[in-house]
Amino acid sequence: MTVFLNSLTPKFYVALTGTSSLISGLIFIFEWWYFHKHGTSFIEQVSVSHLQPLMGGTESSISEPGSPSRNRESETSRQNLSECKVWRNPLNLFRGAEYRRYTWVTGKEPLTYYDMNLSAQDHQTFFTCDTDFLRPSDTVMQKAWRERNPPARIKAAYQALELNNDCATAYVLLAEEEATTIVDAEKLFKQALKAGETIYRQSQQCQHQSPQHEAQLRRDTNVLVYIKRRLAMCARKLGRIREAVKIMRDLMKEFPPLTMLNIHENLLESLLELQAYADVQAVLAKYDDIGLPKSAAICYTAALLKTRTVSEKFSLETASRRGLSTAEINAVEAIHRAVEFNPHVPKYLLEMKSLILPPEHILKRGDSEAIAYAFFHLQHWKRIEGALNLLQCTWEGTFRMIPHPLEKGHLFYPYPSCTEMADRELLPTFHHVSVYPKKELPLFIHFTAGFCSSTAMIAILTHQFPEIMGIFAKTMLGLWRPQPWASSGFEENTQDLKSEDLGLSSG
């Protein structure tokens, strides 16, 4: 062993440190890429999932079914599940007329498989029931909603129409996926409305005959509400805004139990387009209640209305000199409230981040909700003079009130820690997901970066200054009480390399 170590030259150490630097550099690059793509360290993830069980980590996690620790774990899991509940986007676009046209133009898929799978589950919940076997067309459509391939779904819809020309759900599917323009989609939805109203009236007459008929009425009600809502959205997109508002108001009066569909968010956006701010305030007075779930649309619309009263004359220099007025304080507080609920929105409104098409499902307080809100409401903020200026001057002040957002909030519950993972599932890969609060780089990235840099520097110094590095190594080895062969062997190798260098220079 001594002979082997004595035979090693500084060139070997240069090769050793250089190789170490290269390998650690590759690991660093991979860790950096994995962290920015998945939000976690690959080495840390592997260590937790594979090494912890080998070190006995699973034993401490095993508890009795009725133990307090087990109860706390189940309670925490239920809390995380409720925090990361994914909601149907109230203003989701049309697949054929909007999403597919985007794919034709850009070659990019705006919807993820996870998002489309959630939509398939929604369609099966809204448009199917246990009595579908009584009507052959509904049986075909039940299979169509489960089909993953779009052409196969469209083909099944036409088969259902051959069996029953008044199959409302078949027209719905064709309007959503086959129609390539909003005008074509509206025509199909009008056919669906005619068929849906007929079926709905028949179901109303038979609803008390059996529980199956009650389920059928619920299904037909869902179909009718869905059709009317999409017709209102078609009217909104085609510029017939007052017609869209009327349809939405009638829906909310006729079917008040269906508030979970968040039709009021469609109404808010249409009223803002009409600049009917008094009507917007009336809607907010009803739905911006402490007992009702909040959304970015509600919080930021409330902030926009209060900003509107002061934004035109607002000046940061003047405000800092004389102080804020009562109206300005109310506007700033409303902005802080909205930013605390969803901190991702301001960057899209201020155009610090580029927008993409919103997904069909959103995560409240997440990046997906911010995209969906800004996509439709950015124009309303731009329309009010000075609104974006006031937002730009004040939104970052929110974070001083919530220094630890994952632990304690100010006006809302602590910010959920699971939003990043859910948003990465909902949003396409070409979009850079906004993360809040900003994550610190994992320890392994710091370690690999430091190790790569230090070994590269040692390799360069050893190659350029072998004599000085030999003295340095001898000194360091002396501090660690080395064996005699270690220091003498390295010194002899250094002298040999020096003699070789002198021989080359004399030659």
d(C-alpha 183, C-alpha 114), whole Å:
29
Per-residue pLDDT at 383: 94
Tell me: do 459 and 377 sit in the same domain. no
Tell me: do 431 and 476 sit in the same domain. no
pLDDT, greater one: 175 or 11: 175
Return the SS3 of 44: helix
H helices present in 136-256, as ranges: 136-146, 150-163, 168-177, 182-206, 211-237, 241-254
Q: Which two three-digit tokens encode residue 17?
A: 């440190």
> Does residue 182 contact residue 234 with C-beta atoms inside 8 Å?
yes
Reported as a pLDDT band with limits 50, 70 and 90, residue 255 is confident
Least confident of 25-29, 181-185, 224-228, 239-243: 25-29
d(C-alpha 31, C-alpha 41), whole Å:
6
C-alpha of 416 from chain center: 12
Task: Tell me the per-residue pLDDT of 363-400, one tens digit each, with 9 for 90 and over.
Answer: 999 999 999 999 999 999 999 999 999 999 889 888 88
d(C-alpha 133, C-alpha 120), whole Å:
20
Tell me: do 310 and 408 sit in the same domain. yes
d(C-alpha 347, C-alpha 246), whole Å:
33
Tell me: do 334 and 432 sit in the same domain. yes
Task: Tell me the per-residue pLDDT of 319-362, one tens digit each, with 9 for 90 and over.
Answer: 778 888 899 899 999 999 999 999 999 999 999 999 999 999 99
DSSP bridge partners of 86: 363
H, E, C per residue of 193-204:
HHHHHHHHHHHH
Tell me: do 454 and 362 sit in the same domain. no
Tell me: do 375 and 472 sit in the same domain. no
Report the candidate in 452, 451, 472, 450 with the shortest Cα–Cα distance to residue 462.
472
* Average pLDDT across the chain, whole number: 81
Predicted confidence (pLDDT) at residue 505 exceeds the cutoff of 50: no
356 Cβ contact list (under 8 Å, min separation 6) = 110, 371, 427, 428, 430, 431
Reported as a pLDDT band with limits 50, 70 and 90, residue 497 is very low
User: Could you say which DSSP state residue 217 is in?
Assistant: H
d(C-alpha 196, C-alpha 220), whole Å:
7
d(C-alpha 423, C-alpha 438), whole Å:
15
Reported as a pLDDT band with limits 50, 70 and 90, residue 503 is very low
Q: What are phi and psi of 86, to 5 degrees?
A: -95, 135
Reported as a pLDDT band with limits 50, 70 and 90, residue 426 is very high
Domain boundary among 384, 415, 438: 438
Residue 462: inside a domain? yes
Q: What is the mean pLDDT of residues 211-232?
A: 89
Predicted confidence (pLDDT) at residue 276 exceeds the cutoff of 90: yes
Tell me: do 478 and 366 sit in the same domain. no
Predicted confidence (pLDDT) at residue 89 exceeds the cutoff of 90: yes
Predicted confidence (pLDDT) at residue 7 exceeds the cutoff of 50: yes
> Does residue 195 contact residue 171 with C-beta atoms inside 8 Å?
yes
The amino acid at 401: M
Predicted confidence (pLDDT) at residue 104 exceeds the cutoff of 90: yes
- How many structural domains comprise the chain? 2
d(C-alpha 507, C-alpha 502), whole Å:
8
Residue 398: inside a domain? yes
Q: What is the mean pLDDT of residues 6-30?
A: 69
Task: Tell me the per-residue pLDDT of 122-181, one tens digit each, with 9 for 90 and over.
Answer: 999 889 888 788 788 989 999 999 888 999 999 999 999 999 998 999 999 999 999 999
Predicted confidence (pLDDT) at residue 258 exceeds the cutoff of 90: no
Domain that holds residue 473: 2-39+443-506
d(C-alpha 83, C-alpha 67), whole Å:
24
The label of the residue with tokens 């007929």 reads 198
Q: What is the mean pLDDT of residues 464-479?
A: 66
**pTM given for the model:** 0.74
Tell me: do 434 and 482 sit in the same domain. no
The amino acid at 152: A
Domain boundary among 438, 456, 473: 438
d(C-alpha 34, C-alpha 48), whole Å:
16
Pairing state of beta strands 361-363 and 86-88? Answer: antiparallel
Residue 99: inside a domain? no
The amino acid at 102: Y
Predicted confidence (pLDDT) at residue 283 exceeds the cutoff of 50: yes
DSSP codes of every residue in 414-475: PPPTTHHHHHHHHS-TTS----SSPPPPPHHHHHHHHHHHHHHHHHHHHHH-HHHHHHHHHH
Per-residue pLDDT at 61: 37
Report the candidate in 122, 156, 162 with the shortest Cα–Cα distance to residue 140.
156
Per-residue pLDDT at 229: 95
C-alpha of 492 from chain center: 62
- Stated as kind and residue range, the H or E segment containing 377 is helix 367-383
Tell me: do 375 and 425 sit in the same domain. yes
Report the candidate in 31, 126, 58 with the shortest Cα–Cα distance to residue 445.
31
Tell me: do 344 and 478 sit in the same domain. no
d(C-alpha 58, C-alpha 50), whole Å:
11
Domain boundary among 401, 416, 438: 438
117: number of Cβ within 10 Å: 13
Per-residue pLDDT at 336: 94
Q: Which two three-digit tokens encode residue 178?
A: 């086959």
Residue 170: inside a domain? no
Reported as a pLDDT band with limits 50, 70 and 90, residue 53 is low
d(C-alpha 476, C-alpha 469), whole Å:
10
Tell me: do 428 and 466 sit in the same domain. no
Residue 173: inside a domain? no
Residue 488: inside a domain? yes
> Does residue 168 contact residue 176 with C-beta atoms inside 8 Å?
no
Tell me: do 332 and 387 sit in the same domain. yes
Per-residue pLDDT at 63: 39
> Does residue 469 contact residue 10 with C-beta atoms inside 8 Å?
yes
d(C-alpha 21, C-alpha 497), whole Å:
23
DSSP codes of every residue in 120-144: HHHHHHHH--TTGGGSHHHHHHHHH
Residue 215: inside a domain? no
Least confident of 40-44, 80-84, 341-345: 80-84
Residue 386: inside a domain? yes
63 Cβ contact list (under 8 Å, min separation 6) = 69, 70, 73
